[in-house]
């Protein structure tokens, strides 16, 4: 069977961020709690005219500059901060990108895990029809109550991946390890704008699920801990990945030095520290960070991935980085996007946090505030109007 996996991968985040030093100062908290304790520096905040649709379309747009979209058989849209209970956010993206009308579109949800489900389903579809491609997009806005422990772990971002046969970035292995368990560590009832989270419990369940998914993975795969050169974890905040990787190395009785353990994940953390949690997108933005921020050539290396979605579903899977992957990255675009973002002061952050959400069908025109290729221009009669720049 032909290898299947990620052929191209790109991410997008909004043009605004709040430095966690600014948040700490407003709260009277020691900034080191955020910079060191949870390992986060900044968090992305969506502009008034930005949401999961505009971020998703902006993430996917670069993938199609030299691509024939007619080969896209399916668009899988993963999110837990969707904008409609019925219509898939992916349909707006399908139009904005000009995808062909024979392409099916569906939205998937299982907290931060759903993008991994989408990638695995996409691989299965492409394995059946190797001449086709599947577009997987994950896009989320992480929002918690003001003055709650989760507030410093907010963020926003989208990742877009083209899944193809003979991919140029990552060949994904068929063997996976899963763990599913009905737990209430983090959830958001339909009537709430912010997530409810039992923070300490959620970190405990994350680590327990890692061990269980890993043990299931080792039953399915011939690979062991020592065969994997680098690891990417779901990133609610970067310290979580550091704790997780130490935990996994203990589970495997690895005799690596602490610095070697840290080196296996360090490059995957850079972008998340600057963006914050992007829920379903976070694991794969971490993978982009590993590819783009690392100084060594990862061609031919085996990577381990741990995906975690509260509630909970966890998956451990693996893949091989394809030699020559560097020439297909969007490294300069990503770095210039991050460098050109604008810092918010605390009052501006509160205004964005409280962005009006018209719910009575009133007509609202939204002023230009974002800088991406696509924006939310207005809402009228309960319909959202998206436009390209
Ligand atoms: N200098 C340095 N470090 C400091 C410090 C200071 N001044 N003050 C505190 N710290 C350290 C603490 O010692 C602690 O370190 P350890 O974890 O190593 O003990 C760390 O900073 C955090 O401090 P607290 O434990 O006191 O923080 P908290 O309770 O206020 O919040 C949290 C932590 C519960 C994780 C909170 O951020 C939260 O609720 N986050 C949202 C939920 C979440 O992200 N869960 C992750 C697993 S679930 C998941 O992954 C799905 C998802 O995306 C949400």
As a whole number of angstroms, the distance between CA 349 and CA 45 comes to 8
Judged against a pLDDT cut of 90, whether residue 259 lies above it is answered with yes
CB 281 within 8 A of CB 157: yes
As a whole number of angstroms, the distance between CA 277 and CA 195 comes to 13
135-146 pLDDT, tens per residue? 999 999 999 999
* 369 — pLDDT class (breaks 50, 70, 90): very high
| Residue nearest to ligand 1 atom 29, measured at CA | 149
Q: What is the pLDDT of residue 250?
A: 97
As a whole number of angstroms, the distance between CA 370 and CA 53 comes to 13
Q: For the chain, what is the mean pLDDT?
A: 97
Q: What is the pLDDT of residue 199?
A: 96
As a whole number of angstroms, the distance between CA 47 and CA 273 comes to 19
Query: Quick check: CB of 153 below 6 Å from ligand 1?
Result: yes
Distance between alpha carbon 374 and the CA centroid of its chain, in Å? 19
Distance between alpha carbon 161 and the CA centroid of its chain, in Å? 11
Nearest to 339 by CA among 34, 42, 46: 42
> Which atom of ligand 1 is least distant from the CA of 203?
47
> Which atom of ligand 1 is least distant from the CA of 29?
7
Nearest to 8 by CA among 301, 335, 325: 325
Query: Quick check: CB of 37 below 6 Å from ligand 1?
Result: yes
As a whole number of angstroms, the distance between CA 89 and CA 110 comes to 15
Judged against a pLDDT cut of 90, whether residue 377 lies above it is answered with yes
285-301 pLDDT, tens per residue? 999 999 999 989 999 99
Q: How many angstroms separate the alpha carbon of residue 118 from the centre of ligand 1?
A: 29
CB 197 within 8 A of CB 186: yes
Over residues 115-121, mean pLDDT: 98
* 202 — pLDDT class (breaks 50, 70, 90): very high
Peptide bond connecting 106 to the previous residue in cis, omega within 30 degrees of 0: no
- For Cα atoms 231, 294, 80, give the angle at the middle one, nearest 5 degrees: 50
Distance between alpha carbon 53 and the CA centroid of its chain, in Å? 14
As a whole number of angstroms, the distance between CA 357 and CA 85 comes to 15
Q: What is the pLDDT of residue 71?
A: 85
Query: Quick check: CB of 206 below 6 Å from ligand 1?
Result: yes
* 65 — pLDDT class (breaks 50, 70, 90): confident
315 is catalytic: no
Query: Quick check: CB of 233 below 6 Å from ligand 1?
Result: no
Helix, strand and coil percent figures for the chain, each rounded to 5: 40, 25, 35
Look at phi and psi of residue 243 and say left if phi exceeds 0, alpha if psi is from -120 to 50, else beta.
Answer: alpha
CB 66 within 8 A of CB 81: no
Query: Quick check: CB of 294 below 6 Å from ligand 1?
Result: no
DSSP string, 333-358: HHHHHHHT-EEPPHHHHHHHHT----
How many CB atoms sit inside 10 A of residue 207's CB? 17
* 1 — pLDDT class (breaks 50, 70, 90): confident
Q: How many angstroms separate the alpha carbon of residue 320 from the centre of ligand 1?
A: 32
| Residue nearest to ligand 1 atom 8, measured at CA | 33
Q: How many angstroms separate the alpha carbon of residue 38 from the centre of ligand 1?
A: 5
Query: Quick check: CB of 186 below 6 Å from ligand 1?
Result: yes
Query: Quick check: CB of 204 below 6 Å from ligand 1?
Result: no
From 112, 123, 232, 312, the catalytic residue = 112
| Residue nearest to ligand 1 atom 39, measured at CA | 199
Name, in order, each residue with C-beta under 8 angstroms of 233's C-beta and a sequence gap of 6 or more: 240, 241, 244, 245, 265, 268, 283, 286, 305, 306, 308
Q: What is the pLDDT of residue 298?
A: 98
Q: How many angstroms separate the alpha carbon of residue 248 from the centre of ligand 1?
A: 19
Over residues 142-169, mean pLDDT: 98
For residue 313, what is the enclosing H or E element? strand 313-321
Name, in order, each residue with C-beta under 8 angstroms of 69's C-beta and a sequence gap of 6 or more: 97, 98, 99, 100, 103
As a whole number of angstroms, the distance between CA 348 and CA 314 comes to 36
80 is catalytic: yes
Q: How many angstroms separate the alpha carbon of residue 37 from the centre of ligand 1?
A: 7
Query: Quick check: CB of 193 below 6 Å from ligand 1?
Result: no
CB 384 within 8 A of CB 53: yes
From 94, 179, 230, 234, the catalytic residue = 234
Q: How many angstroms separate the alpha carbon of residue 29 from the centre of ligand 1?
A: 13
Over residues 272-286, mean pLDDT: 98
Q: What percent of the chain has pLDDT above 70?
A: 99
SS3 (DSSP) at 200: helix
| Residue nearest to ligand 1 atom 53, measured at CA | 236
Q: What is the pLDDT of residue 76?
A: 98
Query: Quick check: CB of 234 below 6 Å from ligand 1?
Result: yes
Name, in order, each residue with C-beta under 8 angstroms of 123's C-beta and a sequence gap of 6 or more: 4, 5, 163, 172, 174
Q: How many angstroms separate the alpha carbon of residue 215 from the centre of ligand 1?
A: 26
As a whole number of angstroms, the distance between CA 278 and CA 80 comes to 10
């Amino acid at each position: 069977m032909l290898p299947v996996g990620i052929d191209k991968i790109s991410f997008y985040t909004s043009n605004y961020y709040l430095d966690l030093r600014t948040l700490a100062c407003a709260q009277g908290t020691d900034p080191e709690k955020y910079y060191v304790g949870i390992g986060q520096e900044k968090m992305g905040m969506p502009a008034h005219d930005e949401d999961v649709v505009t971020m998703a379309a902006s993430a996917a747009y670069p993938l199609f500059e030299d691509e024939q979209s007619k080969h896209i058989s399916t668009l899988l849209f993963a999110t837990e901060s969707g904008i409609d209970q019925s219509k898939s956010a992916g349909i707006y993206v399908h139009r904005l990108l000009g995808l062909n009308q024979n392409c099916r579109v569906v939205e998937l949800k299982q907290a931060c895990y759903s993008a991994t489900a989408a990638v695995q389903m996409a691989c299965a579809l492409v394995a059946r029809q190797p001449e086709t491609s599947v577009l997987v997009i994950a896009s989320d806005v992480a929002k918690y109550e003001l003055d709650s422990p989760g507030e410093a772990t907010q963020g926003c971002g989208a990742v877009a991946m083209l899944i193809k046969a003979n991919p140029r970035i990552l060949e994904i292995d068929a063997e996976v390890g899963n763990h599913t368990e009905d737990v209430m560590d983090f959830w958001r009832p339909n009537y709430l704008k912010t997530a409810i989270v039992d923070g300490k419990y959620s970190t405990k369940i994350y680590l327990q699920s890692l061990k269980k998914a890993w043990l299931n993975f080792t039953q399915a795969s011939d690979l062991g801990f020592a065969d994997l050169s680098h690891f990417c974890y779901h990133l609610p905040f970067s310290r979580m990945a550091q704790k997780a990787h130490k935990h996994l190395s203990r589970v495997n009785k690895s005799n690596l030095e602490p610095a070697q353990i840290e080196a296996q994940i360090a490059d995957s953390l850079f972008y998340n520290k600057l963006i914050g949690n992007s829920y379903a997108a976070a694991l794969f933005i971490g993978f982009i960070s590993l590819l783009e921020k690392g100084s060594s050539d990862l061609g031919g290396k085996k990577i381990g991935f741990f995906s975690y979605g509260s509630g909970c579903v966890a998956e451990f899977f693996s893949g091989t980085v394809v030699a020559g992957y560097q020439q297909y990255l969007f490294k300069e675009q990503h770095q210039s996007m991050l460098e050109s973002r604008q810092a918010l002061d605390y009052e501006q952050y509160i205004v964005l946090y409280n962005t009006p959400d018209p719910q009575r069908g009133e007509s609202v025109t939204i002023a230009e505030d974002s800088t991406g290729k696509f924006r939310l221009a207005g809402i009228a009669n309960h319909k959202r109007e998206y436009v390209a720049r």
